[in-house]
Structure 1
Amino acid sequence: MADSGDVSSPRYRRPYAVAGSLELLRGPVSGVVRLPAHLDWSGHAEYDLDAPGRIVDLYRAVLVEAASPQDLYAFLNAAVLRRLWAVLWLPAQLRRAWELKFPVLAEITRITATA
Structure 2
Amino acid sequence: MRYADRRTYAVPEDLAQLTGPVSGVVELPRHLDWSEQHTYDLDDPAQLGLMYERVIREASSLEDLAAYLDARTLVRCWGRLYLPVQVRRLWESRCPALVAAA
- TM-score, length-normalised on structure 1? 0.84
How far, CA to CA, are the matches of 2:68 and 2:58 in structure 1? Answer: 12
Instruction: List aligned pairs for 1:98-113, cutoff 5 A.
Output: 98-109=91-102
Q: What percent of counterpart residues are identical?
A: 48
Report the counterpart of residue 29 of structure 1 in structure 2.
22
How far, CA to CA, are the matches of 1:57 and 1:65 in structure 2? Answer: 12
Pairwise CA distance, 1:20 = 2.2
Q: Which runs of 5+ in 1 are unaligned?
A: 1-5, 110-115
Report SS of the residue matched to 1:47.
Answer: strand
Report the counterpart of residue 48 of structure 2 in structure 1.
55
Report the counterpart of residue 73 of structure 1 in structure 2.
66
- TM-score, length-normalised on structure 2? 0.94
How far, CA to CA, are the matches of 1:18 and 1:62 in structure 2? Answer: 11
Report the counterpart of residue 15 of structure 1 in structure 2.
8
One-letter amino acid matched to 2:2: V
Bigger Cα Rg: 1
Q: Which runs of 5+ in 2 are unaligned?
A: none
Give the length in aligned residue pairs.
102
Q: Which runs of 4+ in 1 moved over 2 A?
A: none
How far, CA to CA, are the matches of 1:38 and 1:97 in structure 2? Answer: 22
Report SS of the residue matched to 1:33.
Answer: strand
Report the counterpart of residue 3 of structure 1 in structure 2.
none
Report the counterpart of residue 46 of structure 1 in structure 2.
39
How far, CA to CA, are the matches of 1:106 and 1:21 in structure 2? Answer: 14
Q: Residues 50-101 of structure 1, C-alpha deviation per residue, up to 9 Å, x if partnerless?
A: 1111000110000000011110000000000000000001001110010000
